[in-house]
Structures are given as structure tokens and as C-alpha cells.
Amino acid sequence: MELVEEQEALISELKRKLEDEDLNPHQKMVLLNAGLNELLDSADIQTDGGALTRVKSRLYDSGILRQCVLLLSLHPSRLRGSWSAATTLAHLTSSCCVGLEPGGRSSAFFSLFLPSVMDALLLLASQLMSRGGECVSLFRMVMDAVGLLLTAHTQLTTQVLNSVHYERIQMCEDATVSLRCIQMWTQTCAASRTFLSSLSDDSVLLLLNEAIGQLAFSSDSAVGVASVRLMLIMASQLGLRLRPLLLSFRGLDHLLDKDWRGRGFDQDVDQLISLVQSGEETSRAEVRGERVRAACVIQAAWRSYRTRRRVKSLNRAVSVLQRRYRTRRRQEQQRREAQQWEEELQYQVCVRRQQARRQFHQKQRRQLQLLPPEQAQAYLQECERRAALVIQSFWRGFRERRRYNTLQHTLRESHTQQQAARTLQRAVRHFLEKRRSAKAPPPSALWIGQEGLTDSRRVELKQQVEEYIALHRSLRVSPEECASLHEEVQQLLQAELQGGAQQRREEQRVEALLAHMHTQLERLRDAPPLSAATVTDAELFLSPSGSVASRARDAHNAMLQASRLPWWRMLGELDAGATSGPAHLQELETELGGLYIRGAAEGPKL
């Protein structure tokens, strides 16, 4: 009796210390580890078999185990430097949940508390796994705690296999982590022979998927032998129940024979391969039997249909009416039940919110009562200051988001205007290019007087033309008109040839200017810096022609004037020297053929 009172005093003292808000998470973990160890050790010493169960139930009723779960669920940034204490706390929490009898609160314990404990353990395990080699031993201790909890509460298996944190652990490429996961399931299955039989087919399928996934993606021999032995344990405990589940993994026997034979555990591999193949043979026999049963069912259905067709005196209207009435009554009943459940749920939510609010105010009242009178006003001012800081932070965030959205809208509109201007410029340039190409004269075929046509060939062609004309005389054109037309054509041809010669001379002049320009550019590139330049070097870059210098100066001034013009004046990419004056505007208007042009002294034209 004295030990029970002492345990109650220890639990009350531990709960009182945990309510102190000045303690950080690390200090709370150290306090919980020491208190739980002391309580469990004192319960083990007692000869009464139910003492340990009574202590665990009292820890759950007092809310200490909930404090443990809250500490284990903290963000990794708040657990920095406390990984060892957190691992110890996880092991103690898992031990306290094994053998605990919640009494009248069993529904909340099994549906809410145990899933929260398992989620906290898996979260801590994933955090330790991400930290690498320095926390490998701690990771193993946490996974041992998970296995201990699974052995006592098999209904948590589905939660573990579907957990996001456990999925992160599965995705780790470290062979040590994969091996530890497989060993946890192996130890759990071996510790309790009723563990696998209590699982549903979906949970067993998920466990098979993990083991076969490790065989498919891992190349470590330890992981392979652990996965094979896990599947053999499942086969020995489940028996015929496992064979239809193995049929979902086609090619498993080929995978085992190809990748895992010759690794030192061939006997286990051969046993698993024979199990898979026997399941396939059983499946084929079942398929044949299923086909026979399906044929019998089809025959029976056809005979019943043929018999029903003979019965013509059956009043179908009554059966249809009854069926619809029953369906409507069932739907109405389901709707009323759903509405009642929804109202009950809303009522429970409101009640829980009121209870939480009442507990919060009571806790604040107790804290104010514990404070000295001279510190109460300072505490209230501090609460007001924190509330003001929260309100200010929310208001600043809202204001900055609104300012950012306004700036983003302005930038988007500016970008849209620039895109529209570019599109308009591109369209006008394309239009002007088409107009110029349409106005350009077509190239003439100058086949007379070209190189390769000798005088003798010319005389021969002329004789052939005269013979053709003599044989095919035109009834509408006289020979005199043909001769005059021929002379006119010869004159035009001669003028065109002279123009071609002039064009070639112009091209030669342009090539000479380009060569001169390239020479000047090479001089500029090889020129010495200004600090080392002499008068002789400067005279090399002076043009000997005054007209060239004047023309360059005029071109430079024209470019400066063109850069100051608005964008719509530069749409046609006109010559910079002709971008001012009425003559340029008239020429541009003639070229555009009626587009909008605003001149210096004229109004808008269409």
C-alpha cells in the first residue's frame, strides 16, 4: 500500500513539473525519462502481477503519456541535440503502451492514442534516418520500439505500412535501413504466431510488397536473406492463405533464381521458389474448377430464364411497385441516419471546443493564481504585447502581399504593351517588305551577248530566225514593222547590257570600300592605346578624302536624329537621312498606299 501511495505521489509530482512552462523540450524529455524509469522500476519490484499494468494505466489517465507523444512529434529544429533523450523516451512510451488497460476509455485509446503514438515513433525514426551514420544505433532503438508496439497491437500494422514517414524510410537507399525494417517485421512475426493471422489480406499484401520490393531493388545479401526468411515465416504461419496473394507477383520465381541464387542461402531460395511454383499450379487447378463452376452457373441461369418465360401469369407491376417502395423507404432511412450522425458530430465538435476553451481559461486562471500579485499585471501586459505582435505580423503580411500583387499586375501590363508593340512593328515591317518586293521589276533573262555566244553562233542563230520568219510570215504584221521592232529590242538590250556593266562597276566599288573598311578595322584593332599613341599613328586613321569625312559626319547626325524619333516613325526601317521633311512624308505615304501618316504641317490621313 505504501508503494502504491508513493507511485501516486511520483506521478502527481511528475505531472506538476511538466506543467511548468519554463522548461524547454530537452529538459522535459530528461524529466520524463527519469520519472518513467523510476516508476517502471518500482512497479517491477512489487510482487503483485498487476502493479505494472496499474502504473501504466495511471500514466495514461494522468496525461503523462500524451505529453510524451507531443514531445516526440516536435519539429526537428526543436529536437536538435536531444536525439538520444528522444530515443529513450520513445522506447519508454512504447513499453508503457504494451500491457496497458485503458478501462472505460478503451475506444479513444485504441482509435486515437495508439495511432498518434505510432505516428510519433515513425516520425522520429525518419528524422534519425535522414541524419545518417551518427544516429544509426538510435534509429535501431526506435525501430525496436515500433516492433514492440506492433507485437502488442497488431491493428497498427495497416497504419505503419500506409504511413508517409515509413514510406520515406522505405525509399532510403541505405542497406542498413532496409535491413533494419525487414528484421523488425521478421522479429514481430516470430514473436507472435497470431500476428499474421490477425491481419487482413490487404495488410499481408502490403507486407509482401515490401519484402519483394527489397528483393527487386536491393543487391545486398543481408537484405536478401532477411526478405526471403520473412516470406518463409509468412508462408509457415499463413499456409494456404498466402498462395493466392503470391500470384499477384508474377515472375517472382525467375527473380529469385536469377538474382539471389549463389549468395549463400540457396536452400531458403529453393524453398521459396517451390512454394511460389506450387501456388501457381494450385491456381491453375482452381482456374479449371472455376471454369467448370462458371459453366454450371451459366446453364442454370439459362434454364431458370427459360422457365421464367413460361410463367406468363405473374403480375410484374406489383413486384416493381414493392421494389420501388422498399428502395425509397431504405433511402429515406439512410438519409435520416446520415443527418442524425452529422448533427451528432457537430454537437460533439462544439462540446469539445467548449471544453478545450474552458480548460484553457482554467489553466490561465491557475497560472495567474500561482503568480505573485506584483507580477500579475506584468504577465497580462506581456500577453497583450504578444497578441499585438501577432496582429501586427498578420497585417504586415497582408499589406506586403497586396503590394506585391499590385506590382506584379503593373509589370504584367507593361510586358503586354511591349509585346503588342513588337507584334505591330513586325506586322508593318512584313507588310512593307511585301510591297517593295511586289513593286520591284522582274529579273530579265539576258541570253544575248553573254559569254559563250560567239560571232559565228550569233550569225547562225540570226539566219535560223530569218528562215523561220520567211517560212511563217505573219498575216497581221508587215516585215517593216518586224524590222523596226527588232531594232527597238536590240536598243533595249544594249541599254540593259550597259546598265549591267555599270552595276558591276558599282559592285566593284562597293567591294573596294568594304576592303578599305576591313583594313581600317584591322588597324583599329591593332592600334596602340591612347597613352602610347603618337602623331604618326593618329594620321593613319585620317581619311584622305574630305567628301568621305563629310558624308560620315552627315550619316552620324542622321542616326542621332533618328534615335530621337517615336517608334512608329521607325516601323519601315527607312533611311536615317530621309526621315525628316515633307518630301519624305509624301514618299512614305505613297509607299504605304493609304496607311495612317501624321506629317509636320498636315492632319491625319486615312
What digits encode the pLDDT tens for the residues 49-70? 577 778 778 787 888 888 888 8
pLDDT given for residue 400 in this prediction? 92
Record the cell numbers describing residue 320, joined without a space.
416493381
pLDDT given for residue 468 in this prediction? 85
Of 73, 45, 72, 42, the closest CA to residue 58 belongs to: 42
Q: How far apart are CA 416 and CA 428, in angstroms?
A: 19
pLDDT given for residue 212 in this prediction? 77
DSSP-based three-state secondary structure for 550: helix
Amino acid identity at 488 = E
CA distances from 131 to 77, 84, 175, 176, 547 (A): 13, 13, 15, 13, 80
Amino acid identity at 259 = D
Count CB-CB contacts under 10 A for residue 427.
11
Residues whose CB falls within 8 Å of the CB of residue 487, separated by 6 or more in sequence, listed in order: none
Encode burial over 510-521: b for 16+ CB neighbours within 10 A, e otherwise. eeeeeeeeeeee
Residues whose CB falls within 8 Å of the CB of residue 478, separated by 6 or more in sequence, listed in order: none
Q: Cβ distance 565 to 579 under 8 Å?
A: yes
DSSP annotation of 440 reads S
pLDDT given for residue 219 in this prediction? 73
pLDDT given for residue 369 in this prediction? 82
DSSP annotation of 529 reads P
**pLDDT under 50: residue ranges of the chain:** 446-449, 574-582, 585, 588-589, 591-606
Amino acid identity at 202 = D
Per DSSP, the chain holds a count of helices (H) and strands (E) of 23, 0
Record the cell numbers describing residue 342, joined without a space.
452529422
Burial environment of residue 306 by CB neighbours within 10 A (0 to 12, 13 to 18, 19 or more)? exposed
Encode burial over 544-566: b for 16+ CB neighbours within 10 A, e otherwise. eeeeeeeeeeeeeebeeebeeee
Give long-range contacts, CB 8 A cutoff, 24+ apart: 532-535: none
Phi, psi (deg, nearest 5) at residue 531:
-70, -25
Q: Cβ distance 143 to 184 under 8 Å?
A: yes
